[in-house]
């Protein structure tokens, strides 16, 4: 499942709209910002930085995706385990994982190629392959976005459960396990980064933006806290 949505940044939030009039908000995704001490020429990054801000008047675009290659493998894994064939069970899980990752890469390449061509009048397919294509993906649970609750918004907007048979557990793990989901950013300077440790002030702000209490926010973001909660 892939969706391209009108979007902007509002502070450290990603705001997703129904259409390019930006009048109806479909969802907000509160993001987190680095808080490490850096030199003045190295900003503390947030994924929301890769979208045009609300005050610019520009309606940007964010991509959402969810792919899986794990449907139907559980019965085979159970059979292998029952036959004490652990090697085949492990191999099948690994194969499904690699296929899901490969699918995510293939879909991302297609999105970048088609958007790149659409945005450059007269550009040909050969030219698109010669140059590095802009944009990169980021997945909930990865260093720049340790907040797994973002998956709920992804699944709801994409219809990943009803249309692709993917589900989220109470702990926000994806089922089938061989699944990948995340966001696409087309900003030409977007890049991978790690959030690092964050302080109580940002956790409290994130809790307000998510509509949860501080204790719940600290449980959700526990691995990223720079203090003892």
- Alpha-carbon distance 80 to 72, whole Å? 14
Of 150, 147, 137, residue with least CA distance to 198: 147
Using one digit for the tens of pLDDT, what is the confidence trace for 148-170? Answer: 999 999 999 999 999 999 999 99
Using one digit for the tens of pLDDT, what is the confidence trace for 12-46? Answer: 999 999 999 999 999 999 999 999 999 988 999 99
Find the farthest-apart pair of alpha carbons in the chain and give their distance in angstroms, rounded.
Answer: 62
- pTM of this prediction exceeds 0.85: yes
- Whole-number Cα distances in Å, 96 to 66, 81, 137, 189, 203: 15, 17, 20, 32, 36
Within a 10 A sphere around the Cβ of 28, how many other Cβ atoms?
A: 15
The enclosing H or E element of 31 equals none
Residue 218 has pLDDT above 70, yes or no: yes
**pLDDT in the model for residue 97:** 96
Residue 130 has pLDDT above 70, yes or no: no
**pLDDT in the model for residue 167:** 96
Using one digit for the tens of pLDDT, what is the confidence trace for 89-109? Answer: 999 999 999 999 999 999 988
CA 134: distance to chain centroid? 16
Residue 127 has pLDDT above 80, yes or no: no
The enclosing H or E element of 61 equals strand 60-68
- Alpha-carbon distance 50 to 46, whole Å? 8
CB 204 within 8 A of CB 217: yes
């Amino acid at each position: 499942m892939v969706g391209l949505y009108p979007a902007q940044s509002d502070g450290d939030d990603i705001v997703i709209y129904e259409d390019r009039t930006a009048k109806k908000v479909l969802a907000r995704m509160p993001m987190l910002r680095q808080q490490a001490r850096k030199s003045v020429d190295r900003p503390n990054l947030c994924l929301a930085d890769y979208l045009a801000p609300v005050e610019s008047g520009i309606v940007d675009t964010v991509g959402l995706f969810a792919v899986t290659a794990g449907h139907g493998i559980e019965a085979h894994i159970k059979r292998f385990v029952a036959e004490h064939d652990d090697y085949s069970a492990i191999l099948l899980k690994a194969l499904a994982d690699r296929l899901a990752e490969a699918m995510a890469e293939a879909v991302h390449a297609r999105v970048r190629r088609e958007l790149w061509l659409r945005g450059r009048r007269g550009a040909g397919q050969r030219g698109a392959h010669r140059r590095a294509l802009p944009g990169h993906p980021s997945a909930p649970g990865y260093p720049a976005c340790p907040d797994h609750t973002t998956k709920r918004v992804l699944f709801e907007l994409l219809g990943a459960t009803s249309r692709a048979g993917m589900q989220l557990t109470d702990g926000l793990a994806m089922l089938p396990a061989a699944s990948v989901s995340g966001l696409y950013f087309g900003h030409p300077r977007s890049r991978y980064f790690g959030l690092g440790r964050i302080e109580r002030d940002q956790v409290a702000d994130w809790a307000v933006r998510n509509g949860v209490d501080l204790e719940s926010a600290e449980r959700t973001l526990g691995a990223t806290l720079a203090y003892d909660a």
